[in-house]
């Protein structure tokens, strides 16, 4: 009797194991849960995002020149920003223009991180406001070719050979210069110190329009 019971259990175990999916068959683009932004605001939504199958950059981490940083998209209606990201931690608004800031946790270098969105009126009707510029100081976000905050200037030049150096940014005791790839719609704040040139912030702006023609933020 005991022998029959043991045989029955063994058969059941074999049947269960045969229905399991082998680990090597699990796709690399499975869903992972990450924050929509790296904001510290408690109201920020958390959604599931899908890995980009080609380069493993999560969709909500992706920087698309001339288009978006994560879920912040150029020309999106400014009225929907709080719904998407929660109430900003800081807002500097005047004359129909606003510089909105969401603060995040400190990064791997113990530096504070932030997401900044600049909005202004869509047109002369002055009825609706839209996102005109997006800036991040967080290495959480990355372009498809793996350029992110803390990339070196040499790495950035390889990915965006058309970048041009602009003037030194005001309001900071460090040597920070703006580099802009106007046609691609992406700009980089580069800190020049100790013979190193490292990215401290990335800005996405409208393609073909200089970052300085829209708004140049003061480094914080």
Confidence tier at 217 by pLDDT (50, 70, 90):
low
Compute the distance between CA of residue 190 and CA of residue 192 in angstroms, rounded to an integer: 6
Residue 60: phi and psi, rounded to 5, are: -80, 0
Q: Where are the domains of the chain?
A: 27-213
Q: How far apart are alpha carbons 70 and 46 in whole angstroms? A: 12
* pTM, full prediction: 0.72
Place 131 in a pLDDT band, splitting at 50, 70 and 90. very high
What's the pLDDT score for residue 18? 41
pLDDT tier for residue 218 given thresholds of 50, 70 and 90: low
> Over the stretch 99-120, which tens digit does the pLDDT of each residue have?
999 998 888 888 889 999 999 9
Can you give the pLDDT at residue 157?
97
- Consecutive H or E run containing 155: helix 153-159
150 vs 33, more confident? 150
Q: 140, 127 in Cβ contact below 8 A?
A: no
First to last CA, the chain: 78
Decide if pLDDT at 212 tops 60.
yes
How many whole angstroms separate alpha carbon 111 and alpha carbon 106?
5
Mean pLDDT across the chain? 77
What's the chain's Rg over C-alpha atoms?
A: 23
**pLDDT score, position 214:** 83
pLDDT at 123: 80
Within 10 angstroms of residue 209's Cβ, the number of other Cβ atoms is 16
SS3 state at 189 = strand
Tens-place pLDDT, residues 157-171: 999 999 999 888 876
Average pLDDT over residues 17-28: 36
pLDDT > 90? residue 204: yes
């Amino acid at each position: 009797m005991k022998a029959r019971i043991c045989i029955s259990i063994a058969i059941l175990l074999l049947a269960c194991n045969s229905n399991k999916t082998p680990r090597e068959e699990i796709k690399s683009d499975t869903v992972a849960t990450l924050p929509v932004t790296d904001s510290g605001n408690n109201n920020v939504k958390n959604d599931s995002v899908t890995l980009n199958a080609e380069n493993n950059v999560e969709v909500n981490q992706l920087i698309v020149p001339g288009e978006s940083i994560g879920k912040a998209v150029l020309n999106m209606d400014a009225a929907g920003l709080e719904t998407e990201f929660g109430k900003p931690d800081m807002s500097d608004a005047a004359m129909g223009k606003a510089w909105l800031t969401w603060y995040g946790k400190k990064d791997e270098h113990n530096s504070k991180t932030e997401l900044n969105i600049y909005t202004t009126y869509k047109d002369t009707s002055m009825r609706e406001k839209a996102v005109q510029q997006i800036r991040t100081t967080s290495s959480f976000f990355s372009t498809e070719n793996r350029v992110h905050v803390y990339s070196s200037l040499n790495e950035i030049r390889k990915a965006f050979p058309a970048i041009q150096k602009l003037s030194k940014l005001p309001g900071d005791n460090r040597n920070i210069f703006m580099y802009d790839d106007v046609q691609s719609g992406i700009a980089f704040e580069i800190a020049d110190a100790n013979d190193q040139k490292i990215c401290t912030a990335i800005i996405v702006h409208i393609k073909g329009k200089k970052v300085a023609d829209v708004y140049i933020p003061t480094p914080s």
